[in-house]
Amino acid sequence: MKWKLLMLACLHFNGERSMAGAFYLLQGKRSAQTIQDAAFYQALPLFGIFPNMEYSEFEKIAEKLEQTGLIESREKAHSLTEKGKGVLQNWLDKNEYIDQFNGWKYGRIAPVFWERFTLFIQTLSHIEEGKRFVPITDNPAVQRFVKQHLPKTKEARMNVRRDLYSQCVQLISTQSLLQQEVFVWQLSRPGRVGSTKTQLANQLNIPLEEMSIRHASMVHGLIQAIQADSLTYPLLKVFIEMERTIIFGTVSAQKTARLLTQISDVNELAKFRKLKKATIEDHLVELALFNESFQISTYVEPLKQTLIEQVSNNEQTLKLKKIHERLEKQVSYFEIRLVLARKGWNTNVRR
């Protein structure tokens, strides 16, 4: 599983980033460089897919992939070989569930949604049958949420139970049969406690690592469907309300963003925030990636924007050095990063 997803990261980077970039992407490191790389190379969905991966393990996987001819090294960066592309595509064709995984967009909200939903189902079903139970989560915030949203009267609870069942049936009908099992078998009701991921992995004869990603992909897919058609899923929509993912990559970038109405000059911003100029430039690149209203024309004149985009498109590259040299150093690296970041917004981030 891990070696295939590492190959997928390599496919996105296409030999233009180091393997360390792929590692931080899969691990979900919320640094300016990792976030920008992921957005530039349209790899944000893979963000944080292996949060507990150690770099030593990652290196061994990469070394084995190179030894078997699935990836190749070029200028300290790696890309898939034709053999590797074939192996990866064959795996993707058989594991379509991975397409639903979107760690950047849903990585934070998915666990909250799932805890709220499963505790609500457990609570509602037990109350309706007058059964005592031990809550499946001891998270006080989740327990408060369920208490606040649980209908007060028997008639209201019956209506919610009926409508919620109907919405769930419609929602999971878009998932594969295996993903439907992953959904159903984790729910608790009187007489049956929902299975853990470890138990499910054993029941379905699937490696635990795969089960964890299947579960996450399933939840991400459900949230996406609910958000895309909230009128069809009004009850399910409630479980994701008030949980918004941060629009910018880092908290520090948000602080800089709040100053832009008063200060726009990079050097002045750096002085005011007592940060390095390079750090402020990182923040502005993040804003270009994740804030549609941010105008890069303040920092890059339109003619330069056009030239940078033309070189990037013609050379089919996102490499800063290559674009910088191609334009005979008429533009700065910061200007190139801003233009590529806005290009990333237009082609990837807003989807």
Indicate which CATH number applies to the domain containing 38.
1.10.10.10
Q: What is the pLDDT of residues 265-280, one digit of tens each?
A: 999 999 999 999 999 9
Q: Are residue 116 and residue 92 in the same domain, yes or no?
A: no
Residue 32 lies in a domain: yes
Instruction: Out of 240, 259, 294, pick the residue that ends a domain.
Output: 240
The domain tally of the chain equals 3
Percent of the chain with pLDDT over 70: 93
Q: Are residue 187 and residue 221 in the same domain, yes or no?
A: yes
Cα–Cα distance measured from residue 49 to residue 217, given in angstroms and rounded to the nearest whole number: 10
Q: Are residue 133 and residue 82 in the same domain, yes or no?
A: no
Instruction: Out of 97, 132, 165, pick the residue that ends a domain.
Output: 97
Q: Position of tokens 């929602």?
A: 171
Backbone angles phi, psi at 77, to 5 degrees: -120, 160
Give residue 296's domain range.
251-349
Q: Position of tokens 């009187």?
A: 190
Q: Are residue 126 and residue 185 in the same domain, yes or no?
A: yes
Q: What is the pLDDT of residues 150-169, one digit of tens each?
A: 999 999 999 999 999 999 99
Least confident span in 3-7, 136-140, 216-220? 3-7
Contact indicator for 201, 81 with CB cutoff of 8 Å? no
pLDDT computed for residue 348 by the predictor: 47
Instruction: Out of 177, 211, 240, pick the residue that ends a domain.
Output: 240
Percent of the chain with pLDDT over 90: 54
Q: Are residue 176 and residue 292 in the same domain, yes or no?
A: no
Q: Are residue 113 and residue 232 in the same domain, yes or no?
A: yes
pLDDT-based confidence at residue 246 (cuts at 50, 70, 90): very low
Radius of gyration of the chain (CA): 23
Q: Are residue 156 and residue 78 in the same domain, yes or no?
A: no
pLDDT computed for residue 248 by the predictor: 47
Residue 104 lies in a domain: no
The type of residue at 27 is: Q
Residue 117 lies in a domain: yes
Per DSSP, 72 falls in state E
Q: Are residue 179 and residue 294 in the same domain, yes or no?
A: no
Residue 36 lies in a domain: yes
Residue 222 lies in a domain: yes
Domain of residue 330, CATH code: 1.10.10
Residue 245 lies in a domain: no
State the chain's mean pLDDT as an integer: 88
